[in-house]
Amino acid sequence: MARFWPEPEYTHGTAPTTGIVLVNLGTPSTPTAAGLRPYLKQFLSDPRVVEIPKLVWWPILNGIILNLRPAKSAEKYASIWTDEGSPLKAHTEKQAKLLAGYLHKAGQPDLRVAWAMRYGAPSIPDTLNALRAKGCTRILVLPLYPQYAASTTASVMDEIARCLTHWRNLPELRFVRNFHDHPAYIAALAQSVRDHWMENGQGDKLVMSFHGVPRRSLDLGDPYHCECYKTARLVAEALELPAERWQVTFQSRFGKAEWLQPYTEPTLEKLAHGGLKSVDLMCPGFVSDCLETLEEIAMECKSAFLGAGGERFHYIPCLNERHDWIQALETVALEHLGNWLTLAAPAESELAAAAGRAKELGAKQ
């Protein structure tokens, strides 16, 4: 549960301090059923994630899913857990620390860089409160979702708005909506593929798998589907791949409703049955390796492809802590910070003069 800290004392003339919050999806505290249950409840209770009327969904969630799914999911998390804990949490924390270091070298030592999870810990409210305690009056929120989706990016904004309803002295906010086609991000993705090819050779086809969302979201106007395809097209162009050498798929389907297609695992099986011998697979919708990449793709999808007759399956890791990715992250942040980097608090003499003018105006009235 989020803690609501007391408002820091306000002092006139204090120079504004700027904070950056990197936000990722989230992770359970432990790879156990006990650790999964509260995480899944928070995640699947978000109306942005499950767009089913609460009266219908809550009996299903609390009576069935939260009794059956935690143990099954725990086994999957246990298969990718590390000495540092959750890979997603470890990568996100490292990215925040590296970004702070890069910004310091770029001449911005006063920027405060923090990180949060939409579900789980550290929570968005706790992270925002920590920045407030450090005097941050300007906050750039940078969700680590390259492609915009209502179920991810918009949910972060929902949680920030909910948190700030408890604040009296609100910060100035800026929000990064997406960076799916940012040249620096595309360049980092393409270079990660080139580096993989240099070390492992080039497969017959490059599959770019994105996290799926219900097909209904596309029909209702969510741009996620289009942004995924634009990312993939730009990466393919950077790699000079002809159309027959790359393909987009969508993974992580949940429930019985139709989701964005084509689905990743059935597509890989179809490719293998059709005679494709080797495939390289990357996940350009994730900037950090996590359950969906390390277990679902690198284990389950690899097994499906090889089991269907494929001979070589290579998963290309997410950007994680690559130098070119942290540089891209720095570029995105600096572009959105804009004039915050040059704006300064008014000098005390200016404040005194303004106070004098206000007093004089009041006397005349």
DSSP notation for 313-336: EEEPP--TT-HHHHHHHHHHHHHH
pLDDT-derived band of residue 16, with 50, 70 and 90 as boundaries?
confident
pLDDT exceeds 50 at position 348: no
Where is average pLDDT lowest: 255-259, 290-294, 355-359? 355-359
Count of alpha carbons within 13 angstroms of residue 304, beta-carbon side: 16
pLDDT of residue 64: 95
Task: Determine the average pLDDT of the residues in 9-21.
Answer: 75
Has residue 1 got a pLDDT over 50? Answer: no
Is 183-315 a domain of CATH 3.90.105.10? Answer: no
The predicted structure's pLDDT at residue 237: 98
With 90 as the cut, is the pLDDT of residue 12 above it? no
pLDDT at residue 360, as a whole number: 61
218 pLDDT band, cuts 50/70/90, is very high
Q: Per-residue confidence at 349, pLDDT binned at 50, 70, 90?
A: very low
Please tell me the total number of residues recorded for the chain in this structure: 365
Report the Cα–Cα distance between both ends of the chain, in Å, rounded. Answer: 50
315, pLDDT greater than 50? yes
Q: Is the pLDDT assigned to residue 245 strictly greater than 80?
A: yes
Any idea what DSSP says for residue 33? H
pLDDT at 354 over 70: no
Percent of the chain with pLDDT strictly greater than 90: 87
Local confidence band at 255 (pLDDT 50, 70, 90 cut-offs) = confident
Q: What is the pLDDT of residues 101-117, one digit of tens each?
A: 999 999 998 999 999 99
The predicted-structure confidence for 122-176, as pLDDT tens digits, reads as follows 999 999 999 999 999 999 999 999 999 999 999 999 999 999 999 999 999 999 9
Residue 356 pLDDT > 70, yes or no? no
Statement: residue 46 has pLDDT above 90: yes
Predicted local distance difference test score (pLDDT) of residue 301: 98
DSSP-assigned states of every residue in 281-302: EE-TT-SS--HIIIIIIIIIIH
For the segment 68-89, what is each residue's pLDDT rounded down to a tens digit? 999 999 999 999 999 999 999 9
CA gyration radius, the chain: 23
Kindly state the DSSP code that residue 244 receives in the 8-state scheme: G
**What is the arithmetic mean of pLDDT over 338-357?**
61
Q: pLDDT category, 342, cuts 50, 70, 90?
A: confident
Q: Is the peptide bond before 262 cis (omega within 30 degrees of 0)?
A: yes
265 known ligand binder? no
Every domain of the chain with CATH number 3.40.50.1400 lies at 17-179+322-341, 183-315
| 292 assigned to a ligand binding site | yes
Q: What is the DSSP letter of 262?
A: S
Q: What is the mean pLDDT of residues 311-315?
A: 98
17-179+322-341, CATH topology level: Rossmann fold (3.40.50)
This prediction's pTM: 0.90
Categorize the per-residue pLDDT at 350 as very low, low, confident or very high, splitting at 50, 70 and 90.
very low
